[in-house]
């Protein structure tokens, strides 16, 4: 299940993943074409044309089913990904309502991929001490700072999902969780993904490291194109002149001080699907 | 908001808007008005504060440190909780303590923004059994989990969130002690008193007297175990400075005089613009004292007749069985 707010990169990752699966550039291969391919096909087409997919509308078809196998494994699985608008996930936090149709996805075989985009304009920083001092002196300031920080949404979603997994699959079920920082190419500093979370989303970072969340979690950085197709015309030209499906990479963090770049955007999916890499 | 999902008065989350209503049909707890369009949905835990039943569910899963947070109105109880949460939110806990989650994370965010205030006109007289999203702030509990790494221990902590009027009421009338019966299960008591009120000659004596009365009530009427740590949170040190007022030591002496064997006092400044008293001053020390108390062995007490005592009393005996481990 892909989880993330508006502009977190869920859909673009899904389309890029489909390109990799369809072209069999990674460890995950298609086992025939999905019966319903329109959403994936159109999204992939945008990436192959050098454009990121736009914001997912609320009415977009949302559940993709891709029959897959892993290299060297004959077992065929159905990768089922409900890809929904980030606003729906925001509503889960703000209105405390869970779509009952999603209960079907919460099973003992489910896993989760949580997306947050580096540098997204949708990201809301946590309140700092200075702002809180002002809040307590002036209620009008409190009103203006009413937006909850992104890290609170992320923690709340994971807590909510854990509760739902317990109800749907039992407390002994420990799903895999990939936390994916997308647009990793925009992270200028020499940081690993976990260090990036510690800097930008300290509450989420602690929550993951405390390991009371009830998932088997790993953190990754991903760039699906290797650069900015929207704002870097030189990069876009180079991307189109060569092979788009050869662009993109994952950053794995096997420890706080180490990172490893892999020219395969599917690495977070491998972890989520139970294949360590 | 029913069309766009966004509150036109800019409340976020939208559920905090005083005009927010959920549509319910046929008495069903599931709200059938969807998030968007025709989505059918089910209510999630509101996350603003916890009622008795919700705390009991937590306690059933894992040993939970219960902290009774008392203090009259405007003594900084909510600021203290907000400051503790902000320490975690900003990543400023000490390195050996990690935020591990909160069942009331929305409630902390709302309190931080002063979006969840007591309605003085209609304060309830009992702790709520179960909270609902549309409820105003009601006496209950807030929750936070920490993982301490040295030694490796898990701490689920539940703080009571009560209006200051209840503390004042307890001083004046033994008859309301039943509301506080849950404190018999408490691992620690925190009593908030402002530092300026202990320094001001016109208020100092009354504050000491009030505290004496309250401590005696807790001992004699609520029947707190005298070994429960009693922590004086001397708040608003952003006004008075980093040193404890002399009267704070009189408080501790009084508590010991009434038989409490384990007392602490910490200068606290939840928010401050002073260089010598930074924001969050003392909050980490208070948390250390609370976490330390969660490991103390307490005797199993027999259940009594008060319904509210029964609410947590059955978990007394679990203290050793559920000792948090890595």
Task: Grade residue A58 by pLDDT with cuts at 50, 70 and 90.
Answer: low
DSSP secondary structure letter of residue B133: T
A168 touches chain B (CB under 8 A): no
Break chain B down into helix, strand, coil percent, rounded to 5. 35, 15, 45
> Mind listing the pLDDT tens digit for each residue in A220-263?
999 999 999 999 999 999 999 999 989 999 998 765 555 688 89
Q: Say if the Cβ atoms of A156 and B12 lie within 8 Å.
A: no
pLDDT digits (tens, 9 = 90+) for A129-150: 877 777 776 766 666 666 889 9
**Across chain A, which distance is largest between two alpha carbons, in Å?**
65
Do B40 and A155 lie within an 8 Å CB cutoff? no
Q: Answer yes or no: is pLDDT of B169 > 70.
A: yes
pLDDT for the residue numbered A129: 82
Beta bridge partners of A81: A64
Residues of A in Cβ contact (< 8 Å) with B12: 94, 146-148
- The two tokens of residue B323 are 């000792």
pLDDT value at B38 more than 80 = no
Position B282 scores a pLDDT of: 95
CA B270, CA A104: separation in Å to the nearest integer?
45
**Residue B80 in this model has a pLDDT that exceeds 60:** yes
Task: Give residue-wise pLDDT tens across range A161-196.
Answer: 999 999 999 999 999 999 999 999 999 888 899 999
Q: Please, are residues B35 and A101 in contact by the beta-carbon 8 Å criterion?
A: no
CB contact residues (below 8 A), chain B span 178-217, against chain A: none
Listed range (A127-141, B249-263, B269-283, B292-306) with the worst mean pLDDT: B292-306
pLDDT at A265: 96
Closest CA to B211 of B183, B177, B248: B248
Cβ-defined contact of B112 to A132 (cutoff 8 Å): yes
What stretches of B186-313 show up as alpha helix (H) in DSSP? 195-199, 201-220, 237-240, 246-257, 283-293, 307-313
Nearest to A96 among B15, B93, B271 (CB): B15
pTM above 0.90, yes or no: no
Say yes or no: A138 contacts chain B, CB-CB below 8 A.
Answer: no
Q: Which of A98, A151, A156 sits opposite B42 (nearest CB)?
A: A98
**What confidence category does residue A80 fall into, taking pLDDT thresholds of 50, 70 and 90?**
confident
Q: Is the pLDDT of residue B212 over 60?
A: yes
Question: Is B3 a residue whose pLDDT tops 70?
Answer: no
CA-nearest residue of chain A to B109? A148
pLDDT in tens, A192-229: 999 999 999 999 999 999 999 999 999 999 999 999 99
- For the residues B131-151, what does the mean pLDDT come to? 83
Contact B45 A96 (CB under 8 A): yes
Confidence at residue B34, expressed as pLDDT on a 0 to 100 scale: 42
CB contact under 8 A, A58 and B105: no
A148 to chain B: which residues are within 8 Å by CB?
A: 12-13, 106, 109
Under a CB-based contact definition with an 8 Å cutoff, are residues A210 and B146 in contact? Answer: yes
- For residues A37 and B40, what is the distance between their CA atoms, to the nearest angstrom? 26
DSSP letter, residue B320: H
Report pLDDT for B30: 41
pLDDT at residue B44, rounded to an integer: 93
Across the interface, which of A97, A136, A205 has its CB nearest the CB of B35?
A97
Model pLDDT, residue B307:
39
Strand order in the sheet with B140-149: B97-101, B140-149, B152-161, B64-70, B188-194, B230-235, B263-267
Is pLDDT above 80 for A155?
yes
> Where does the pLDDT of residue B240 fall: very low under 50, low under 70, confident under 90, or very high at 90 and above?
very high
Task: Note whether B30 contacts A: Cβ–Cβ < 8 A.
Answer: yes
Kindly report the nearest CA distance between residue B144 and chain A, in angstroms.
11
pLDDT score for B322: 35
pLDDT band at B301 (very low <50, low <70, confident <90, very high): very low
Residue from A57, A59, A168, A212 to probe the interface with B (highest B Cβ count within 10 Å)? A212
CB < 8 Å from B in window 57-76 of A: 58-59
- What is the pLDDT, as a whole number, of residue B315? 42
CB contact under 8 A, A212 and B154: yes
- Check B44 against A146: CB less than 8 A apart: no
Query: Residue A146, Cα to own-chain centre: how many angstroms?
Result: 25
Query: Which residues of chain B neighbour A91 with C-beta distances below 8 Å?
Result: 5, 35-36
Question: What length does chain A have?
Answer: 277
**Which chain A residue lies closest to B104 (C-alpha atoms)?**
A156
Arithmetic mean of pLDDT, B229-255: 95
Closest chain B C-alpha to A223 CA, distance in angstroms: 27
Read off the pLDDT of each residue in B269-294 and give the average, rounded to a whole number. Answer: 88
- Please tell me the predicted confidence (pLDDT) of residue B308: 39
Lowest mean pLDDT segment, chosen from A105-119, B108-122, B142-156, B191-205 = B108-122
- The pLDDT of B199-211, averaged and rounded, is 96
Chain A partners of B14 at a C-beta cutoff of 8 Å?
Answer: 94-95
Question: What is the average pLDDT across A273-277?
Answer: 78
- Whether omega for the bond prior to residue B273 falls within 30 degrees of 0, making it cis, is no
Give CA–CA dist A143/B14, Å, rounded.
Answer: 12
* Mean pLDDT along residues B157-170: 94
> What pLDDT sits at residue B294?
46
Per cent of chain A over pLDDT 70 is 91
Between A39 and A179, the more confident residue is A179
Lowest mean pLDDT among A93-97, B48-52, B189-193, B318-322: B318-322
Tokens of A135: 């809040």
Q: Across the interface, do A206 and B271 touch by the CB < 8 Å criterion? A: no
Instruction: Give the confidence band of B248 by pLDDT, cuts at 50, 70, 90.
Output: very high
Give the whole-angstrom CA distance, residue B44 versus residue B41: 9
Average pLDDT score over chain A: 89
Q: What is the mean pLDDT of residues A8-28?
A: 94
Distance, in Å, from the CA atom of B162 to the CA atom of B52, rounded to the nearest integer, reads: 13
Phi, psi of A4 (to 5 degrees): 165, 155
* A78/chain B closest Cα distance in angstroms: 25
Q: What is the 3-state secondary structure (H, E, C) of chain A?
A: CEECCCCCCHHHHHHHHHHHHHHCCCCEEECCCCCCCHHHHHHHHHHHCCCCCCCCCCCCCCEEEEEEEECCCCCCEEEEEECCCHHHHHHHHHCCEEEHHHHHHCCCCCCEEEEEECCCCCCCCCCCHHHHHHHHHCHHHHHHCCCCCHHHHHHHHHHHHHHHHHHHHCCCCCCEEEEEEECHHHCCCCCCHHHHHHHHCHHHHHHHHHCCCCCEEEEEEEECCCCCCCCCHHHHHHHHHCCHHHCCEEEEEEECCEEEEECCCCHHHHHHCCCCC
A126: CB partners within 8 A, 6+ apart: A149, A151, A152, A201, A202, A203, B89, B90
pLDDT tier at B298 (50, 70, 90 boundaries)? very low
Task: Note whether A147 contacts B: Cβ–Cβ < 8 A.
Answer: yes
- Chain B positions in Cβ-Cβ contact with residue A208 (cut-off 8 Å): none
Q: Which of residues 198-237 of A touch B (CB under 8 A)?
A: 198, 202-203, 205-207, 209-213
- Nearest neighbour of A100 by CB, restricted to B42, B279, B280: B42
Residue B280: its pLDDT value, please? 92
| B1, closest residue in chain A (CA to CA) | A95
Residues whose CB falls within 8 Å of the CB of residue B4, separated by 6 or more in sequence, listed in order: none
Peptide bond connecting B13 to the previous residue in cis, omega within 30 degrees of 0: yes
Give B105's pLDDT tier (boundaries 50, 70, 90): very high
Strand B263-267, strand B188-194: pairing: unpaired
| A102 inside 8 A of chain B by CB | no
State the count of interchain CB pairs (< 8 A) between A and B.
156
Burial of B92 (0-12, 13-18, 19+ CB in 10 A): middle
Q: What confidence score (pLDDT) does residue A259 get?
A: 63
Q: Which of residues 257-316 of B touch A (CB under 8 A)?
A: 271-273, 278-280
Helices B77-89 and B105-112: angle between axes, nearest 10 degrees? 110
Read off φ and ψ for residue B65, nearest 5 degrees.
Answer: -80, 120
Say yes or no for a CB contact (<8 Å) between B106 and A160. Answer: no
Looking at chain A, which residue has its C-alpha nearest residue B98? A206
pLDDT of residue A27: 93
Q: Residues of A with CB below 8 A from B109's CB?
A: 148-149, 152
User: What sign for the dihedral angle of Cα A103, A108, A109, A115?
Assistant: positive
Which of B37, B47, B88 lies at the smallest CB-CB distance from A96? B47
d(CA A2, CA A159): 15
d(CA A148, CA A96): 14
Mean of pLDDT values over A119-128: 90
Element (H, E) at B171: helix B164-172
**Nearest to A265, CA basis, from A150, A178, A194, A174:** A178
d(CA B264, CA B250) in angstroms, rounded, equals 12
Residue B202 has pLDDT above 60, yes or no: yes
Average pLDDT, chain B: 81
| Whole-number Å distance between alpha carbons of B136 and B107 | 11
Helices (H) and strands (E) in chain B, counts: 11, 8
Report the complex ipTM: 0.91
């Amino acid at each position: 299940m892909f989880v993330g707010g508006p502009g977190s990169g869920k859909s673009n990752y899904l389309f890029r993943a489909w390109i990799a699966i369809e072209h069999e550039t990674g460890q995950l291969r298609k086992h025939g074409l999905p019966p319903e391919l329109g959403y994936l096909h159109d999204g992939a087409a945008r990436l192959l044309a050098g454009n990121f997919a736009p914001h997912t509308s609320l009415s977009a078809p949302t559940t993709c089913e891709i029959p897959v196998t892993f290299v060297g494994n004959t077992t065929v699985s159905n990768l089922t990904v409900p890809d929904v608008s980030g606003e729906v996930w925001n509503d889960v936090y703000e209105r405390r309502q869970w779509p009952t149709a999603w209960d079907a996805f919460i099973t003992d075989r489910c896993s989760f991929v949580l997306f947050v985009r580096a540098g997204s304009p949708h990201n809301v920083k946590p309140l700092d001490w200075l702002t809180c001092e002002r809040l307590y002196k002036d209620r009008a300031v409190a009103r203006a700072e009413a937006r909850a920080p992104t890290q609170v949404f992320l923690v709340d979603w994971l807590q909510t999902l854990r509760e739902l997994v317990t109800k749907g699959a039992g407390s002994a079920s420990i799903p895999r969780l990939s936390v994916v920082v997308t647009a990793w190419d925009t992270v200028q500093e020499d940081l690993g993904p976990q260090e990036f979370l510690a800097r930008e989303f300290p509450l989420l970072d602690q929550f993951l490291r405390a390991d009371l969340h009830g998932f088997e979690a790993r953190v990754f950085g991903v760039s699906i194109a290797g650069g900015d197709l929207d704002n870097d015309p030189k990069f876009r030209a180079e991307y189109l002149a060569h092979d788009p499906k050869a662009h993109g990479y994952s950053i794995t963090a096997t420890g706080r001080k180490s990172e490893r770049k892999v020219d395969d955007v599917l690495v977070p999916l491998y972890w989520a699907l139970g294949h360590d890499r | 908001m029913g069309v766009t999902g966004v509150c036109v008065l800019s409340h976020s989350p939208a559920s905090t808007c005083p005009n927010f209503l959920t549509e319910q049909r046929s008495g069903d707890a599931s709200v059938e008005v969807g998030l968007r369009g025709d989505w059918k949905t089910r209510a999630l835990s509101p996350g603003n504060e916890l009622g008795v039943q919700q705390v009991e569910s937590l306690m059933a899963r894992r040993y939970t440190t219960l902290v009774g947070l008392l203090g009259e109105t405007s003594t900084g109880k909510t600021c203290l909780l907000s400051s503790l949460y902000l320490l975690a939110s900003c990543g400023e806990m000490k390195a050996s303590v990690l935020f591990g989650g909160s069942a009331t994370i929305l409630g902390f965010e709302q309190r931080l923004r002063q979006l969840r205030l007591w309605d003085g006109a209609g304060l309830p007289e009992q702790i709520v059994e179960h909270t609902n999203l549309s409820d105003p702030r009601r006496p209950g509990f807030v929750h936070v989990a920490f993982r301490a790494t040295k030694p490796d221990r898990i701490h689920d902590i539940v703080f009571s969130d009560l209006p200051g009027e209840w503390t004042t009421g307890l001083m004046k009338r033994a008859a309301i002690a039943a509301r506080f019966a849950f404190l018999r299960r408490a691992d620690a008591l925190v009593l908030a008193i402002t530092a300026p009120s202990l320094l001001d000659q016109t208020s100092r004596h009354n504050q000491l007297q009030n505290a004496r009365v309250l401590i005696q009530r807790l001992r004699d009427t609520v029947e707190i175990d005298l070994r429960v740590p009693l922590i004086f949170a001397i708040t608003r040190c952003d006004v008075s400075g980093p040193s404890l007022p002399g009267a704070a030591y009189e408080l501790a002496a009084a508590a010991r005089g009434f038989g409490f064997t384990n007392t602490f006092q910490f200068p606290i400044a939840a928010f401050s613009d002073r260089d010598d008293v930074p924001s969050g001053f003392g909050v980490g020390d208070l948390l250390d004292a609370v976490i330390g108390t969660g490991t103390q062995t307490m005797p199993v007490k027999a259940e009594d007749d008060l319904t509210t005592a029964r609410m947590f009393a059955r978990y007394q005996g679990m203290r050793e069985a559920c000792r948090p481990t890595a």
